[in-house]
């Protein structure tokens, strides 16, 4: 039943993720311009070591559109992507916490070097301006409070991650190390 629910919900979720990614790209015209020369190319993200107890991930592959935006390939992943990013996803919770704390995961990159350079630039320089988006739909005081709460949560996650790292250094060989 869980797998049926996953099959039903995952495509709409990926379509919304793609909309969010395009929203972030569209907020910076230079980002779209950097992708324009790569129109028609495919970027694929592979999650290696994904736990078998969890529902399988849908293919994470996007084609660059002529406008410099992303189009999710859906289940029709091309046999060969011009750029492939492989991320260790053996521990999805830790990966999510690292990302939430602003930590970029180690990524193995294969494929088109020029395309990889542009994607790397995007990953380093693009940020979702959540505060500006919240201010468009919520009263300013509420939007500001939500942004402060989110920032505090991100700092707490980063501090917990750092504390866990120092705990592991002091207690090598302990569970969780």
Per residue in 70-79, pLDDT (tens digit) is: 999 987 767 7
Q: Looking at residues 8-21, what average pLDDT do you find?
A: 83
Per residue in 43-64, pLDDT (tens digit) is: 998 888 888 888 777 778 999 9
pLDDT band at 65 (very low <50, low <70, confident <90, very high): very high
Tell me if residue 69 falls in helix, strand or coil.
coil
Q: What is the pTM of this model?
A: 0.71
129-135 long-range CB contacts below 8 Å, 24 or more apart? 129/27, 133/23
Tell me if residue 107 falls in helix, strand or coil.
strand
> What b-and-e string marks burial along 102-139, b requiring 16 or more CB atoms within 10 Å of the CB?
eeeeebeeebbeebbebbeebeeebeeeeeeebbeeee
Share of the chain above pLDDT 90, in %: 24
Per residue in 90-145, pLDDT (tens digit) is: 888 888 777 766 677 888 889 999 999 999 898 888 776 666 766 767 787 777 78
In Å, how far are 31, 43, 49, 55, 150 from 86, measured between CA atoms?
Answer: 22, 11, 10, 19, 28
Residue 10 CA from chain centroid, whole number: 15
Dmax (CA) of the chain: 53
Among 104, 14, 112, smallest CA distance to 57 is for 14
Q: Where on the phi/psi map is residue 176: left (φ > 0), alpha (ψ -120 to 50), or beta?
A: left
Predicted pLDDT of residue 161: 66
Provide the token pair at 27: 């907020």
Mean of all residue pLDDT scores within the chain: 80
Share of the chain above pLDDT 70, in %: 77
Reading across the β-sheet that carries 83-88, which strands appear in turn? 70-72, 60-64, 42-48, 83-88, 107-111
């Amino acid at each position: 039943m869980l797998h049926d629910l996953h099959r039903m919900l995952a495509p709409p979720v990926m379509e919304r993720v793609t909309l969010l990614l395009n929203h972030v790209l569209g907020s910076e015209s230079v980002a779209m311009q950097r992708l324009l020369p790569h129109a028609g190319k495919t970027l694929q993200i592979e999650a290696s070591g994904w736990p078998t107890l969890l529902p399988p991930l849908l293919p994470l592959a996007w084609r660059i559109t002529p406008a410099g935006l992303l189009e999710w390939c859906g289940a029709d992943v091309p046999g060969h992507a011009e750029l492939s990013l492989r991320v260790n996803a053996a521990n999805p919770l830790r990966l999510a916490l690292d990302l939430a704390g602003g930590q970029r995961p180690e990524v193995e990159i294969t494929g088109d070097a020029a395309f990889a350079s542009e994607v790397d630039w995007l990953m380093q320089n693009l940020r979702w301006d959540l505060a500006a988006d919240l201010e468009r739909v919520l009263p300013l005081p509420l939007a500001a409070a939500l942004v402060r709460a989110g920032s505090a949560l991100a700092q707490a996650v980063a501090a917990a991650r750092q504390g866990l790292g120092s705990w592991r250094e002091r207690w090598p060989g302990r569970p969780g190390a």
